[in-house]
Chains A and B, each alone.
Chain A
């Protein structure tokens, strides 16, 4: 297995230990192998685009990393050391933050309560410091989405894009080292999407590793250093974005055909 990891990285990064390495991860729900012996890694300051058709297993794979699901088999390494991740709390302790495809917001409470859910700011008497949380939230949201003003309303009453902004704010606010973004811009307008693009560049510069799941292949080519393509739960292959064309990646997604510029995975079509 170690050979496979090394061969994946023929560039300058090969010297560094990956921030995260997932090896032979499998999980099934009932009879469905949602993820089947999938492996991939993420280096500091790197954006990895995770691609695949609907139901390919992308969300499931990253939910294993974020502790939402417990894998059936396989292992996860953080900074080269085997990590125990069986619930979201443990993942957060490793600095793994996630923007879920479903956003995972508590609809009935306001933006600040969602942003700080599970990590509330307390007063010195141990009570909730709502004013401090609201003040911080105003700051973060201002950076992300300057038009956002509805700080007092339950997030249920916000638009899809505004909700997405809250979910993004929550993931980036707590000094994540590893950021997982499951279709973070699906509901955003062009200006806000641009904002998230800039944010990704900035986070990358800070040395944060990012898994970016998106169906927009142009976005992925703009933002990602590498792509990992999944099909039917298995990894078709991975490639640096400069080594493959968009058409080749589409071929990987749709047909599972691994182009010459990519490293074959167990899910690739036999040649």
Chain B
């Protein structure tokens, strides 16, 4: 790209995009997100007299609330890229949470004793494995019995919701294991100020390492590389973003009540000004970040990911190239199930219980996140980071409207409208860029 001669005059912006190889869709999404955040903040500021959106507290909550949808959205990208759909994720989340509730509240304490440290580990493993198994089963029906994914997972939507009712006759199972509940966030379910700084620095080093190794790879084969200023800019912006996020998360202190209890339990004297104990990154967002990195790696750096996109681009060609497309389909749905299991861990830990309604309508938010993030129903196109940003957009709208006091009827309508608008804008974008 950068070797092309520029005979015609290009605008600075186009040259900038070319040099940095940033895709305009990413810029567009970040722009939209910033607009949404500023919009809600200043609406609150001017209309309600208090801008509550751009506060550490709200941004911290936003990060926690986004996590479970974001985790599932990364899997939904692969499902939609291969021209399938999974409508069952919300119900499967509820069912898996119910199973985990039974395991950790009714079963394991009998054998291990209440509060045994292995309980949360076994529960999480059971949940993820259970999700993967059901996902694989649905994938089997889709791939080997050629039942359309829409039908199989629509059936799943009803079946798993019904099944989770049967598990406990509609009862709520609580309270979940103490350690398990930390996975859901909350003041104790965080890594604190120091931990957040360490994580931030590790991420910065990772960004540097990726840029350097990517550049070295291209030099090894004598391919054109990005100009140095573009590399520095990308690295700088990436690291500034990471460190900024650390500062925001650390700027949200524990509430006074928690501090008082914590001080009493640990025999700490509270000084006059009170003490400032930071939340830092919460576990759910850490899980979402880890899943996001792992899924990006899977989608872009491995054979599995390459095959997912090839199947999406041309299923017949993938088959002719020797790819076992049936097995791939089954694996993709199994992966979706496993991610749903992880999301179920986050959601039920956050709620500290398993309820019948858990995960209801999540499938719509997950699909919307993937689609807003640029995943195309025509297949073959989609990114993991897009889906995560999409989840953040959806959750920002939702929380923002709650903050400024829109009632839930309006909330639903806005979210629905935004989804349709996003796809329309996406079509426009594609038409202009292709």
Q: Are A108 and B309 in contact (CB under 8 A)?
A: yes
Contact of B321 among A88, A102, A107, A130 (CB under 8 A): A88
Binding site for A on B (CB under 8 A): 1, 217-218, 220-221, 223, 297, 300-303, 306-307, 309-314, 316-324, 379-381, 434
Task: For the complex, give the distance between the alpha carbons of A109 and B1 in Å.
Answer: 16
By beta carbon, the residue of chain B nearest A151 is B223
| Residue of B312, B314, B316 with highest tally of chain A CB at under 10 A | B314
Q: Are A118 and B321 in contact (CB under 8 A)?
A: yes
Q: What is the number of residues of chain A that contact chain B, defined by CB distance less than 8 Å?
A: 33
Q: Are B322 and A104 in contact (CB under 8 A)?
A: no
Chain A residues with CB under 8 A of B307: 118
Q: Are B301 and A118 in contact (CB under 8 A)?
A: no
Q: A92-B322, A132-B221 are in contact. Are A127 and B316 (CB under 8 A)?
A: no
Task: For the complex, give the distance between the alpha carbons of A104 and B318 in Å.
Answer: 8
Q: What is the interface of chain B mostly: helix, strand, loop, or mixed?
A: helix
Q: Are A104 and B380 in contact (CB under 8 A)?
A: no
By beta carbon, the residue of chain A nearest B3 is A149
Q: Are B313 and A107 in contact (CB under 8 A)?
A: yes
**Is A262 an interface residue, CB under 8 A from the partner?**
no
Task: For the complex, give the distance between the alpha carbons of A157 and B433 in Å.
Answer: 11
CB distance from B72 to the nearest CB of A (A): 23
Q: A108-B313, A122-B303 are in contact. Are A117 and B221 (CB under 8 A)?
A: no
Task: For the complex, give the distance between the alpha carbons of A87 and B379 in Å.
Answer: 24
| Residue of B217, B221, B223, B321 with highest tally of chain A CB at under 10 A | B321
**Is A248 an interface residue, CB under 8 A from the partner?**
no
**Is A152 an interface residue, CB under 8 A from the partner?**
yes
Chain B residues with CB under 8 A of A119: 322
CB distance from B266 to the nearest CB of A (A): 45
Which 8 pairs between the two chains have the least Cβ-Cβ distance?
A108-B313, A108-B380, A106-B313, A104-B317, A106-B310, A118-B322, A117-B321, A118-B321
Q: A104-B321, A118-B321 are in contact. Are A109 and B313 (CB under 8 A)?
A: yes
Residues A91-128 near B (CB distance < 8 A):
92, 98, 100, 102-109, 113, 117-120, 122, 126-128
**Is A134 an interface residue, CB under 8 A from the partner?**
yes
Task: For the complex, give the distance between the alpha carbons of A100 and B320 in Å.
Answer: 9
**Is A165 an interface residue, CB under 8 A from the partner?**
no
Task: For the complex, give the distance between the alpha carbons of A100 and B321 in Å.
Answer: 11
Task: For the complex, give the distance between the alpha carbons of A187 and B433 in Å.
Answer: 25
CB distance from B377 to the nearest CB of A (A): 13
Contact of A105 among B220, B301, B314, B434 (CB under 8 A): B314
Q: Are B310 and A117 in contact (CB under 8 A)?
A: yes
**Is A135 an interface residue, CB under 8 A from the partner?**
yes
Contact of A109 among B220, B303, B309 (CB under 8 A): B309
Task: For the complex, give the distance between the alpha carbons of A109 and B379 in Å.
Answer: 12
